[in-house]
Chain A
């Protein structure tokens, strides 16, 4: 308590440290005047911790990554810790704007790395003996790094978290363009590094799950720090200013993924699957995010698209057995899915809210059961429809690898290119619809259906149109899915998939395009990466969802509408804001 009065001379120039109340107030007030010093100490501890040994013995399944039993190492999670620690020190010494906010974010990153690796070594090594002194060996790495990380967080929180600065510089056009290109390329490299961190799992990389989580923690901390410094906001402003340019660069950069470390057949397949679900999630986003109609059976439209495409692919197992060009198949799949969408949507004329959700749930179940029982011989039942031929243009098959001179691109790369273009197209459709008369009508219906009707919006047809267009997008994705995987089976389209899609939309941020893509990526990469936690995989997954919904209910990428809905009423608005409403006049 007395700490604030005897502030050291170093802090004199700085603005008065904040007074804390509530839990930990004493500690916080003690740290507050010397927050930057504490941050520097924490940074040094994080670096020192990274260089100490982390495990006292080689774990059962092989050496923990980055030679954790040995001191000194500048790779993997140790490198991440060094970078986070150094960044903390630099930021604290230079006293950049919003220093405490940045420091807190960096501290969270360092703590995450220490906790994840420490816990994992502890669990795998059979108790605390694996990371503390035992058998005369010393392995305090995790403990020291954890202390460092916690100190940094404490310093950030105690020093008073500043509002995020809003940066904007007037730079020549060409510099801004170059800046955008560089930033997007860096983003691609980070994504590629994230995907490949810890390898593909399995016998070769038994610790890939932990390594990936650790990478996620470090990257998350760094990302939050950039956000805190206002640099991310600046990038957003910049890309908003050069919208078309940004979109083109982003598209080109996305197409560059096969050239990075993630350019293997495995990751091309994962990325293609993510693309399929991202496109479907964007379609679902029209129904749920814009029009506010809860759909619990949405994956059925993906299934309808996939089965239509399978039947028109010339696969031996299909009953129809005709072979149409891929582009035509896509259109037909989309149209058929759209027709079913309109049929499922038609109860919206009479049924609202929870009841509609049950209708859609029932439709999803009907679809899966029908497909399982091979109704009309169109779905192959339990045998599925296998051996769907790959998309071919001329003599070139899309699942072949490409060799251009010295450059060898993995097989599946053409599918990747195709799905990137498909997702880009779907994004364009969603974005255009959202900012149109139709999109506004959907949002108005979501907000207040009766008021929307009073504004002359014919709510029935407009709601059915949401279902129809959303289902068409899913149908497109389904056609791609059938050809990419080569097999279409009913059990790819069960209730759990519908729920996951819905989670992707909500998690990413309802009503936004990047949100749906991000949500789909997270929900389909995480299970891929957490394979070796097999038993706990869904548990971790569910826990992460609960935490995100608790601490960021508007989703990772917040739509301004949703943000407003969930935000508390600002104080000034509350003061003058709505008084008691007049009691209604009963008829």
Chain B
């Protein structure tokens, strides 16, 4: 894990399968994928993105920029427009106004092309292919990078074998990376909840993304699994993938992210380092209404794990 980040005391108790991916696995995978240049040059940017549903303004002029190798957290109370913003970034919605760009180019309109351009995502409610095996789920993720046309699929020639072997090889590495190597032939629906979340991440990584969007990756997880997910996200960043995370768990966000964005009622309220955001009275107010001192103290201690009331 990253030495700069304060490690919670749960680290030592992690069972082997929940620990951060072993270095050799990361090294092998990093060779296949691109490695971060660490330039922090902006990759994914949005300028003045608004989204209106009927009379409801779900997003209002949201402008943000994600640098290469950065982990950005997106927090906000329920209904703040976080998932809507994600959907705008991934082409599921096209914004009413404003623009999303990837490496300076406008983002394509349809989700498949967005993925091909290098933006992958997971879903808030797990959306695996439940009756495919873990391996097959990851192979579907490879779809967009495989060079295998219908004719090749039909004839199963030597080129087919090569592309299939490559895809299997990468899928195996990815499953090992998220700690699911032993479950490769298990049906996705039979995996425990936390493992399903990690399989979804492996599937998204299989598309060779340069940006990974995680929608509540630790929802429903216990403290150990949450810690394991944190380690995993650091490892993903080390592979050269920039990450945006939506989370309710503020402690998780503040110990994970380089920058945190607070979205309230479709507006970008505060943006800054975890420390800046943690100390901002407007954030506390947005989360909890009027700020009684003791609640503020709780936020500082990072004890609040829920988004709280609107």
Name A's B-contacting residues (CB within 8 A): 429, 432-433, 436-441, 443-444, 447-448, 450-459, 465, 469, 560-562, 564-565, 569-570, 573, 576-587
Contact = CB atoms under 8 A, between A and B. Distances in A.
B53 A579 contact: no
Nearest to A438: B153
Contacts of B53: 587
Contact of A455 (B78, B131, B141, B190): B141
B69 interface: no
A437 B129 contact: no
B135 to A, nearest CB: 10
Given A455-B203, A456-B115, A579-B193, A441 B143 contact: yes
Given A454-B90, A562-B131, 20 more contacts: A432-B153, A433-B153, A433-B154, A436-B153, A436-B154, A436-B160, A437-B163, A437-B164, A448-B129, A450-B92, A454-B115, A457-B112, A564-B189, A565-B130, A577-B192, A581-B219, A582-B219, A583-B78, A585-B80, A585-B83
Nearest to B117: A456
Given A447-B129, A451-B127, A576 B140 contact: no
Contacts of A454: 90, 92, 111-112, 115, 120-121, 123, 127
A579 B220 contact: yes
B196 interface: yes
Contacts of B140: 440-441, 444, 452, 455, 457
Contact of B129 (A451, A469, A570, A577): A451
A570 B192 CA distance: 12
Nearest to B163: A437
Interface string B105-145: 00000111101100011011111111110001001111110
B51 interface: yes
Nearest 4 CB-CB pairings of A with B: A456-B144, A456-B115, A436-B153, A587-B84
A440 B124 CA distance: 23
B153 A582 contact: no
Interface residues of B, number: 63
Contact of A576 (B87, B92, B167, B193): B193
Contacts of B216: 582
Contacts, number: 154
B112 A444 contact: no
Interface in B159-196: 160, 163-164, 167, 187, 189-193, 196
A437 B148 CA distance: 7
Contact of A570 (B115, B128, B160, B190): B190
B155 interface: yes
B56 interface: yes
B309 to A, nearest CB: 14
Nearest to A444: B140
B153 A585 contact: no
A438 B191 CA distance: 25
B58 interface: yes
Contacts of A459: 112
8 contacts: A443-B132, A453-B110, A456-B143, A456-B144, A560-B131, A573-B189, A579-B220, A580-B220
B278 interface: no
Nearest to B142: A437
Contact of B192 (A433, A576, A582): A576
B150 A465 contact: yes
A433 B148 CA distance: 11
B73 interface: no
Interface-central residue, A444, A448, A560, A584, by most chain B CB under 10 Å: A444
Nearest to A429: B154
A447 B163 CA distance: 24
B124 A584 contact: yes
B219 A587 contact: no
A585 B148 contact: no
B94 interface: no
A585 B160 contact: no
B159 to A, nearest CB: 12
A455 B79 contact: no
Contacts of B163: 437
Given A440-B139, A570-B190, A453 B112 contact: yes
Given A436-B156, A453-B112, A578 B129 contact: no
B110 A448 contact: no
B228 to A, nearest CB: 15
B82 A440 contact: no
B266 to A, nearest CB: 9
Contact of B190 (A438, A453, A573, A585): A573
B270 interface: no
A447 B136 CA distance: 12
A437 B220 contact: no
B21 interface: no
B207 interface: yes
A584 B139 contact: no
B125 A456 contact: no
B81 interface: yes
